[in-house]
Every structure is written in structure tokens, then in C-alpha cells.
A = this chain, B = another copy of it.
Amino acid sequence: MSEAELIARIRELFPRTGDDAAVDGDQVFTNDMLIEDVDFTRDVPLRLIARKSLAVNLSDLAAMGAKPLYALVAIGASEWVDVGALIEEVANAARSYRIEIIGGDLSRAAKLTISVTAIGEAKQPILRSGARAGDRLYVSRPLGGSAAGLALLGADLSKLSYAEREYAESAIRRHLDPEPETELGMKLVGIATSCVDISDGLSSDVRHLCVDAGAEIMRERIPVFPGLSGNVREFVLNGGEEFALLFTSPMRESEISARVGRPVYMIGRMTKERGVRLDGEPLEPRGFDHFAAR
């Protein structure tokens, strides 16, 4: 069974799993699991592992325009983990994200594993499927930082200039401690016709918005994470774990910015013609993909 067949079969068996989060009445539900040596290494401080395990789920809620309320946290703790310290960090992270941990499970595991289910409230959830030809395509913040940060992990930053080191550290921070776009997501209700968070990469995730339309992206309009060097095109187009919101709206950039009180970046248009194009050329998805089942 190919990966594409697997995903198609998952959609068929579980039709409600197709969006960032599942909707039931006013409630939205999502879950994501982080696993040692797949999603992080044990060099990463527990504080950041705890924060990211919640953040990736809150990003899914943000993409639905939902207000985060609760989370359940299942932890499989490997030998090296100070479980008491990890629990404190989960509590700190929940406090800083203003959610309540209402359930959990704790067991032993060979690799540290944190599986989080987050529950939010959305009276008008923003779906992936609402984009129409003619809508503008927006991204919520500059891209490429997370992938650049991942590439810099473990690198020797001591030979860099002061400015380069500042940039490198901010890219690493973007990767290790991503900010879910919770506030923006809630404000996009009534503005965005569709929304997804960029977890696999722009070139992959834009496809989720192409249910009833295609997309045309302008390379020069994509905002780039400050100080990015190296394979910038690759980082920006295919870098995963950005947790920026990618959304569509018929409104102008200036109007949306005024309404949400911060910049958003128009990077293209939704088109009648199907498929995704970058400056007129077909853009292939090349984002990072566990199994692309999200």
C-alpha cells in the first residue's frame, strides 16, 4: 500500500479526520504525539519538549479559529526522564497557554513519548475546504525559520558574528519553541474562508486548501524569516513545523491587518485552475512527512 493509498483509506474509514481538528457541535478536538528521536532528541530541555507537545496541538486548534480550553496528556517516560520535572513543565506550559490539563496517563517507555489531545471551542470553525477561486492566499508570518533552526541544531555557533548568532538562535528558538497562532486564529473567524497550519511545509499544506480551487503563489511575496541563510528556497517552500497559519480570504491585506491588529502576508491567489503553481510553474509538495496522515 503506497502512502497516498494509505491516506485515501484513512479518509475513507474515518471521514471526520480530514481537517486540522474534528468538529462536534461547538467543540473541536485534535491530537498529536511527539516521540523521542523522531520529533526531538534528549538534548532538548524538558521545558521545551513539554511546551512543544502542547503547542503543536494548539496550532491545530488555531487553524480552526478555536479557543483552546483543555488538554489530556499521555506520557510514556523513558529512564533518562525526570518525571517530576517533566510534570512541572507540562503544568507550566499549560499555564502559559491558558489551558487546563483535565486528564492524563503515565507509563514507562523506551523512548519519551508525549501524546496530547486538545479540546477547544469554536462556534464557527474555519474549515480547510472553504477556499474559493478568487480568494487571496495569506500566511501569518515569515517562513523558513523552523527548518533553518532544525538544520542549525548542534552546530557550533561560536564562530558566527554577533548578528549571525542572534539570527541563528532565533531560528533555533522558532524550531524548538514554536508559537501557536491562537489569538490570530480566533480573530480570523468571519475573515478567513479556509485555514490550515503549516506543519508539513508550505508546498504540502497549501494543497489542503485546494479542495474547490487551485492556488497560485508568488515567490517574491512569501515573507522570509529574518537572517535566513543556506538553502532559503527549500526552507521557505518545504520547511515543516512552522505553525504559521495559511489561510484564504476575499479581503485585502490591509483590511485584514487592520482588523486583526497585526501584519498578515498575501502570497498569492486561489484559482479556478486546479493544482498549485509558483510563479506560473507547478509546485510539487516536498514537505516533511511522517506518513502525511495529518
| Residue positions of A touching B, CB distance < 8 A | 1, 5-6, 9-10, 13-14, 16-17, 21-22, 24, 29-33, 35, 37-39, 70, 72-77, 83-84, 87-88, 91, 100-111, 113, 115, 117, 119, 290-291, 293-294
Contact = CB atoms under 8 A, between A and B. Distances in A.
B31 A117 contact: yes
B83 A29 contact: no
Given A72-B22, A109-B113, A101 B38 contact: no
9 contacts: A1-B83, A10-B104, A13-B101, A24-B70, A31-B103, A32-B74, A37-B110, A38-B109, A106-B293
A277 B73 CA distance: 34
B294 A87 contact: no
A62 to B, nearest CB: 16
A101 B24 CA distance: 12
Given A104-B293, A109-B111, 20 more contacts: A1-B84, A9-B84, A9-B88, A13-B88, A16-B100, A16-B101, A22-B103, A29-B102, A29-B103, A31-B73, A33-B76, A33-B115, A35-B107, A35-B109, A74-B115, A105-B294, A107-B290, A108-B290, A109-B113, A115-B115
Interface centre among A13, A33, A113 (most CB of B within 10 A): A33
Nearest to A84: B1
B29 A72 contact: yes
Contacts of A9: 84, 87-88
Given A33-B74, A76-B35, A113-B76, A13 B107 contact: no
